[in-house]
Chains A and B, each alone.
Chain A
Amino acid sequence: MANVMVPFTNGKGGVGKTALACSYAAARAHEGADVILADTNEGQQTAMAWSAVRAHNDILPKVRVQPANTREALEMVGRCDVLVVDTPGWNDKGTLLLARKSTFMVIPTGPSPTFDLAPTVKLLHGLRAEGIETWRMGVVLSRFSNDDKIRDSEEELARTYLREAGQGQGGYTVLEGSVRNAPAYGAGLAEGYGLTEIDRGRGLADEARGMMNTISKGVSAALQKLMRLEKELGAFRSNPGKGKERDGGRGR
């Protein structure tokens, strides 16, 4: 399996970065992937706390969580199949650094146009301006209403908002579905469970699994694109004269 790095980022706090990062790490570990979750939120270390309570409750599979600064997190690439990075509730140069080196950056956002979507759009514009391709960033609608009807209208509004924000920017990627803000999720997370491990009879785990699969699809698609670009770049470097060959998967 290839080495991928998947940071969960949004300078807007409390949108579910840690919840989703931990859940994604656990979901990939369930598939048998070798996963490390790097917790770069040195102030809070909530991913660390989640893993500690997970161990305390003997929840399997174990998820390796390590505290790290941005540089250390970057150095972990290659030490595992899937490097998940939980980031703090602010944006800085580290955000950009992670974005540059990441396979696919997950950007969770809440439903409020004013308090969640506007700052999320600022981050997207900023990353875009720094040259991060839109297919390497996926917005996840997170902590949307637990009430189906309200959630539908929140989703519609958020998608409209993000679509309009992406006009002229190549269109931002908004992943399918949304994660509801369910009390059972909150309770389970606090005990060290990932969202896909929390059910309580309401199909919550299935719903979460859907989102995790969607994230994985985004990661795989981005990885393939990156590998293809790298190959083209390699071919160009070794033979700059005749750049344009599309060889459909010839080895290097």
Chain B
Amino acid sequence: MSVKKDSALPSRFLPPPPPEDNVKRALNHYGDVRREDGKISRKTGRDVQFATIVTPEFKKWMKEEAKRRGKKQCVLLEDMRAAYLKVQAEKVR
């Protein structure tokens, strides 16, 4: 649905957003997500458990590296992903 011809709105304004553009999205778009149990999950949307089996050394490194940089481990992981993707992209090329 594009701009409606029969709109009574002055043409200098855009018409109201149509429902199909954003059904339900308006309700989980930004801010805290408060669940029915009243808990507030992460503002960042990082609320999924990520568990895997690693060596004790790796775990220790993750923990200390995150601490040293004053970051959460999830942020460090995301840094690592970004670095990985950069290297991979260069390799593909």
- State the A residues within 8 Å of B (CB): 11, 69-72, 88, 90-97, 113-114, 117-119, 121-123, 125-130, 157, 160-162, 164-165, 168-169
Contact = CB atoms under 8 A, between A and B. Distances in A.
A59 to B, nearest CB: 32
Interface string B9-25: 11001111111011111
A126 B16 contact: no
Given A119-B26, A128-B19, 16 more contacts: A71-B38, A72-B38, A90-B32, A91-B27, A91-B28, A91-B30, A92-B29, A93-B35, A94-B33, A94-B34, A96-B27, A122-B22, A125-B21, A127-B27, A157-B9, A164-B15
Contacts of B36: 71, 93, 97
B23 A125 contact: yes
A91 B10 contact: no
Q: What secondary structure prevails in chain A residues at the interface with B?
A: helix
B31 interface: yes
Interface string B29-70: 111111111101000000000000000000000000000000
23 contacts: A11-B29, A11-B31, A69-B40, A70-B34, A70-B38, A90-B31, A90-B32, A91-B30, A92-B31, A92-B32, A94-B33, A96-B27, A97-B36, A121-B16, A123-B27, A125-B17, A125-B26, A126-B25, A126-B26, A160-B8, A160-B9, A161-B9, A164-B15
Q: What secondary structure prevails in chain B residues at the interface with A?
A: loop
Contacts of B9: 113, 157, 160-161, 164
B37 A71 contact: yes
A69 B31 contact: no
B2 interface: no
A189 B40 CA distance: 30
Contact of A130 (B16, B27, B35, B38): B27
Contacts of A164: 4, 7-9, 15-16
B41 to A, nearest CB: 9
Contact of B22 (A90, A125, A157): A125
B43 to A, nearest CB: 10
4 smallest beta-carbon distances between A and B, as pairs = A90-B31, A71-B38, A126-B26, A165-B16
A161 B16 CA distance: 6
Contact of B26 (A71, A91, A113, A162): A91
Nearest to A123: B26
Nearest to A169: B19
